[in-house]
Each structure stands twice: as structure tokens, then as C-alpha cells.
């Protein structure tokens, strides 16, 4: 891999000792890692370990208490909405988060909102170039035939493909996928992960994807990060994750 | 990075097709027909309602003069006002409570999933719509004529109208209630009535009480004007003052109504919050 000569400049995203607490409960306790362009990273950890909080803080949906994020060479602001580097960080959600009453194409065009004047968003009038690009994004997720369908008429797998097309339409440097397959049956799940993986390598985007199944993480990731009680406890090549490491990651916390 | 210029022929074709279907002549015509119909509707309504802004411009100064003459408020008749406000609140309280009690059996008939007599479902719903469709004011007008002047006519008016609203609220809540617990309890061998009491009443009781409080708030406001048709309460004094052009008296009554309504709204809102 060309990115083997690791250097700060080659990182797509660097997180530096990010911490977040909700009242008494510590959700993130100084999390640091970096993602290289084109890398697909699986994020593992038991429920409540802080995976979603991490994503929400990086995407700017939540404000981290301390620590910073570096997108390429740009420091990300903190606070709602301002933290996602002008759309260069795209997010994919477990429950798809599409606008039900809009067509698939209009949902994908939402990915362009960060880059177009407000009036275009309000009136849903996009330039031909943006519309063409959105259609192309739909083609890349094999949803061209469903461009006109209202989002609520699509099946779960189709919805997630449209959501991925929306992320693509942002022309992102980083895609955060928060349990993108947890609402899908296993046969569809593999297709979604393969799609995200191919996007990572073809578009040279860093993809970090939280997962619950170790087998999927091993099969599709380049690297696996394990998080537990708000701390990173595992960070290695996907091939290096053995059952023992996984067991330690998911081991019951008996102190509680 | 993907380049828009590199888009495949398939995407180009798909976008053309999308635009064609979205902007079809039939679709556009439909939209314009709808816009024109809506416009026509508002023009006709504006005419029928005799909206005349110049009359408002001429009338506002008159209202201003009255307000000036209404100061200072006149509290000499306060005891009688308080008694009348008491009548108004009492009408609302008795009317709403009677309405809710009557509404419970009707609501049972009017909820598709609970009714013991499915044949009566639609008639029950029609009855509720009729009761809700006729305002308490109209009922009061009728009952003043039959049972005579005074708050009792107001109580009947409020009870009849509110019964329709309360039963609809309760029936809708019952139709949306989750029935799995009810079915589970029926499998224990309990009778239908016992099962409903055991499984549904705990869920529905807060809804019933909360709608009763909500309707009470609404009825206090509505019954301030029932006196205008002779059905007792503070509305009677309100009308007398207006007839005599006694603006300080009118102003005092309006202040009093405002205070009582606000206090009761707050109180009932606080109680409803505690219920959920």
C-alpha cells in the first residue's frame, strides 16, 4: 500500500484525545486515532462503548468536551453543524435518515446542500450539473432505476443505498457509517459493506464503519479499532484480530 | 474523486426520463388548475366575509376612545362579578364532568376494537359527530327556551357538546391502544369486562382525566359568553355593560375573566403534566 509511509499529511482524519461526558457518565475518555485516505476501518465494541458518540462528535452533531479533530490539514470547529468541515465528512445512519416524502434523487441532492446557495436548497432547485452528479451517485449504488421513487416506498437495503449515494454526493473525504447494516438482513448487509469498501478504494475516501459482527469486520475491513467504555483497546490490521482479542473486547464488565 | 463529466450514458438518460416524468404537461396542468381553484376560493371567501379594511380603519379610533374612557376600572360591583364568575366556572366544571361520565360508555361503543355491539359502532360515531358539530352556545340557546334563564341551561349546553368531544378523544385513544396486553390477559381466563378493566383502564385512565381537564379549560373560556344568550354566568354582566355603554364596568369584567382563565389554565396544565 502506498500509504504505508505514514506521515501526518497523509491522514484523511486525525482525532486527538477526544473526550465527552453526559453528566456523570463518561462516553469518550480520550480517544485518538487517524484514518488514511482509501482505508476501510471497522469499529467494534459493545453497546454503549461510545461508538455513536464518537461519530456524532466527529460529524459535529455533538460537541466534544475536549480534544480535537483534524480533517486533512484543517482543524474542525466544535459546536453543532460547524464541525463537519463543510460537508467533507459524510455520515451514514443505522435507520437511513432519509426524508420520506422526497424522491430518491432529491434525497441524494441533499448531499449537495453544503455546497450550494441557500435558495437552491429552499426551493429544491439544483443546477443541472449537481442533478447529473446526484444521478451518477445513484448509478454507483445501483439505484438508477429507483430515482423517482419516494424514499418511503423503498426497501431497507434500497434506502441504505440511497443514503450512501447522499453521502457520496457530498464528495466527502471521510465517511462515518454508524451501524449501517444493523437494520438489514445478512444477505443485504454484505452488499452494503462491499459497496462502502469499494467507495473507499475507488474514491480514496476514508471509511470508518461501526459493526456488531466480528466476522463482517474481519471480512471487509483493512483495519479494526476496538472501543470499550470510551477508550480504544484495540487497533490493528483486520487479520490480527483473533477470537481472544474479540473476547476481551466484549467481556462483561463485572464491576457494575 | 468522481467527476460529473464522466457520468455514464445511463445516468444522462435516467435524468432526462426523471425530468420528463416530473414536469409532464399533465402534471403542470393539474398544478395550475389547483392554484387557480385555490385563488378563486379565497376571492369568493373574501367577498362573502365582506372584508373591508377601510371600515376597520374608521372603527379602530372609536375603540381607542372607549379604552380611554374605560380607565380607571370600576371595582364597586366586584362581589357580584365574583359570584357570576363563580357561576361560569361551576357551569364549566359540572358540564365537563357530566359530559365525561356520559362519554365513557359512548366511547366504548365508538371504538372499533372494544365495542361489544359492532352494529352500533357507526351510529355511535354519528352521534358523537352530531354532538360535536353543534356548539354549546347553540344548545344553551335551545335549553334557555325550554328550562328557562340561568346557568342550568348553560350546564346542559356544555355537557352535550363536550360529551361528543370527550367521547371522541377517549375512543381514539382506545382504538390506538396496544391490545397485546388485553389479549394476554384474556388468555388467563378472565372475562372480557375484567380484562378491559385490568389491561386497558390503567392505560386509558390518564387519557380520560387529561382530556377532561383540557375540555374544562376550554369550557371555562367558552362559557364566559354563554350569559349572552341568558344561560347565566359572567357573560350576562358583560352583555349588560355593553348595552349600557358602561366601559369601566366592561373593562373590569374583561380583566377579571382574563385573570380567572389564566389561573385555571395554568392549574389544569400543571395537573395534566403530572398525569402523564
Between A116 and A137, the more confident residue is A137
Contact between B11 and A204 using a beta-carbon 8 Å cutoff: no
ipTM of the complex: 0.72
Nearest CA-CA partner of A169 in A122, A209, A129, A207 = A129
> Does the pLDDT of residue A56 top 50, yes or no?
yes
Distance of CA B235 to the CA centre of its chain: 20
- Of all residues in chain A, the percent with pLDDT exceeding 90 is 56
Measured between alpha carbons, how far is residue B77 from residues A133, A227, B84, B242, B249 in Å? 76, 75, 11, 16, 8
What pLDDT does residue A252 have?
A: 65
**Mean of the per-residue pLDDT values for chain B?**
87
Contact between B21 and A131 using a beta-carbon 8 Å cutoff: no
Burial class (CB in 10 A: 0-12, 13-18, 19+), A162: buried
What pLDDT does residue A256 have?
A: 38
- In whole angstroms, give the CA distance from residue A250 to residue A80: 32
CA B24 to chain A, closest CA, distance in angstroms equals: 13
What pLDDT does residue B69 have?
A: 85
Nearest CA-CA partner of A12 in A206, A196, A204 = A206
What pLDDT does residue A87 have?
A: 73
Torsion angle of alpha carbons A100, A101, A104, A110, nearest 10°?
-80
* B181 within 8 A of B199, measured Cβ to Cβ: yes
Measured between alpha carbons, how far is residue B37 from residues A235, B13, B23, B69, B115 in Å? 65, 36, 20, 47, 42
The answer to pTM > 0.90 is no
**What nine digits make up the cell of B155?**
350546564
Torsion angle of alpha carbons A242, A248, A249, A253, nearest 10°?
160
Strand ranges (E), A93-230: 174-177, 206-210, 223-228
Q: Poorest-confidence range of A76-85, A153-162, B50-59, B242-251?
A: A76-85
> Does the pLDDT of residue A8 top 50, yes or no?
no
Give the residue from A144, A168, A173, A198 with the most B CB atoms within 10 Å of its CB, the best one to mutate. Answer: A144
What pLDDT does residue A108 have?
A: 94
432519509: which residue's cell?
A: A98
Which of A26-35, A68-77, B200-209 reaches the highest mean pLDDT?
A: A26-35
> Does the pLDDT of residue A79 top 60, yes or no?
no
Strand ranges (E), A85-242: 89-92, 174-177, 206-210, 223-228, 231-237
- In whole angstroms, give the CA distance from residue A250 to residue A252: 6
* A71 within 8 A of A13, measured Cβ to Cβ: yes
> Does the pLDDT of residue A80 top 60, yes or no?
no
Domains and CATH numbers, chain B: 9-40 (no CATH), 86-275 (1.10.3720.10)
- Of all residues in chain A, the percent with pLDDT exceeding 70 is 91
Q: How confident is the model at residue A10 (pLDDT cuts 50, 70, 90)?
A: confident
Q: How confident is the model at residue A85 (pLDDT cuts 50, 70, 90)?
A: low
Q: Give the chain A residue whose CA is nearest to the CA of B6.
A: A136
382563565: which residue's cell?
A: B261
Contact between A131 and B10 using a beta-carbon 8 Å cutoff: no
Q: Poorest-confidence range of A51-60, A135-144, B25-34, B185-194?
A: B185-194
What pLDDT does residue A86 have?
A: 65
Q: Give the chain B residue whose CA is nearest to the CA of A200.
A: B1
CB nearest A135 (choices: B14, B21, B22): B14
What pLDDT does residue B21 have?
A: 84
Between A130 and A239, the more confident residue is A130
Which portions of chain B are predicted below pLDDT 50? Answer: 1-5
- In whole angstroms, give the CA distance from residue B139 to residue A145: 59
Judge whether A144 is closer than 8 Å to chain B, CB to CB: yes
Domains and CATH numbers, chain A: 10-88+174-250 (3.40.50.300), 99-171 (no CATH)
Q: How confident is the model at residue A255 (pLDDT cuts 50, 70, 90)?
A: very low
Residues contacting A89, CB < 8 A, separation 6+: A13, A58, A59, A60, A71, A172, A173, A174, A175, A176
Amino acid at each position: 500500500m502506498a500509504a504505508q509511509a505514514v506521515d501526518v499529511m497523509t491522514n484523511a482524519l486525525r482525532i486527538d484525545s477526544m473526550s465527552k461526558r453526559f453528566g456523570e457518565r463518561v462516553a469518550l475518555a480520550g480517544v485518538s486515532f487517524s484514518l488514511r485516505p482509501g482505508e476501510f476501518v471497522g469499529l467494534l465494541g459493545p453497546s454503549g462503548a461510545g461508538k455513536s458518540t464518537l461519530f456524532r462528535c466527529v460529524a459535529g452533531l455533538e460537541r466534544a468536551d475536549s480534544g480535537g479533530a483534524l480533517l486533512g490539514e484543517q482543524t474542525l470547529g466544535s459546536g453543532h453543524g460547524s464541525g463537519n468541515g463543510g460537508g467533507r465528512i459524510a455520515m451514514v445512519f443505522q435507520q437511513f435518515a432519509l426524508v420520506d416524502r422526497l424522491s430518491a434523487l432529491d434525497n441524494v441532492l441533499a448531499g449537495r446542500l453544503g455546497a450550494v446557495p441557500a435558495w437552491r436548497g429552499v426551493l429544491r432547485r439544483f443546477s443541472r450539473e449537481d442533478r447529473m452528479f446526484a444521478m451518477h451517485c445513484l448509478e454507483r449504488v445501483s439505484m438508477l432505476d429507483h430515482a423517482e421513487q419516494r424514499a418511503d416506498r423503498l426497501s431497507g437495503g434500497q434506502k441504505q443505498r440511497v443514503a450512501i449515494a447522499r453521502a457520496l454526493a457530498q464528495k466527502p473525504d471521510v465517511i462515518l457509517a454508524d451501524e449501517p447494516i444493523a437494520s438489514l438482513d445478512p444477505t443485504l448487509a454484505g452488499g452494503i459493506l462491499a459497496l462502502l469498501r469499494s467507495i473507499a478504494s475507488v474514491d480514496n475516501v476514508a471509511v470508518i464503519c461501526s459493526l456488531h459482527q466480528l466476522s463482517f469486520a474481519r471480512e471487509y475491513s483493512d483495519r479494526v479499532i476496538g472501543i470499550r467504555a470510551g477508550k480504544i483497546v484495540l487497533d490493528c490490521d483486520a487479520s490480527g484480530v483473533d477470537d481472544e482479542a474479540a473476547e476481551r473486547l466484549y467481556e462483561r464488565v463485572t464491576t457494575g | 474523486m468522481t467527476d460529473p463529466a464522466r457520468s455514464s450514458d445511463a445516468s444522462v438518460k435516467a435524468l432526462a426520463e426523471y425530468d420528463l416524468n416530473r414536469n409532464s404537461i399533465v402534471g403542470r396542468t393539474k398544478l395550475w388548475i389547483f392554484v387557480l381553484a385555490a385563488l378563486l376560493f379565497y376571492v369568493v371567501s373574501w367577498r362573502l366575509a365582506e372584508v373591508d379594511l377601510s371600515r376597520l380603519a374608521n372603527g379602530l379610533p372609536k375603540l381607542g376612545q372607549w379604552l380611554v374612557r374605560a380607565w380607571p376600572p370600576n371595582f364597586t360591583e366586584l362581589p357580584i362579578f365574583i359570584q357570576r364568575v363563580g357561576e361560569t366556572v361551576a357551569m364549566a366544571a359540572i358540564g365537563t364532568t357530566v359530559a365525561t361520565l356520559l362519554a365513557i360508555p359512548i366511547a366504548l361503543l365508538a371504538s372499533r376494537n372494544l365495542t361489544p355491539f359492532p352494529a352500533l359502532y357507526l351510529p355511535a360515531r354519528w352521534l358523537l359527530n352530531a354532538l360535536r358539530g353543534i356548539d354549546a352556545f347553540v344548545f344553551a340557546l335551545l335549553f334557555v327556551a325550554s328550562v328557562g334563564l340561568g346557568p342550568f341551561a348553560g350546564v346542559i349546553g356544555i355537557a352535550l357538546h363536550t360529551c361528543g368531544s370527550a367521547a371522541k378523544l377517549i375512543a381514539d385513544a382506545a382504538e390506538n391502544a396496544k391490545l397485546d396486553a388485553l389479549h394476554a390477559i384474556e388468555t388467563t381466563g378472565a372475562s372480557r369486562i375484567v380484562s378491559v378493566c385490568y389491561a386497558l383502564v390503567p392505560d386509558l385512565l390518564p387519557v380520560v382525566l387529561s382530556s377532561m381537564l383540557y375540555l374544562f379549560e376550554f369550557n371555562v373560556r367558552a362559557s364566559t359568553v354563554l350569559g349572552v344568550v341568558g344561560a347565566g354566568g359572567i357573560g350576562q354582566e358583560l352583555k349588560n355593560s355593553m348595552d349600557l355603554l358602561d366601559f369601566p364596568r366592561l373593562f373590569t369584567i374583561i380583566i377579571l375573566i382574563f385573570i380567572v382563565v389564566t389561573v385555571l389554565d395554568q392549574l389544569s396544565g400543571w395537573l395534566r403534566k403530572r398525569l402523564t
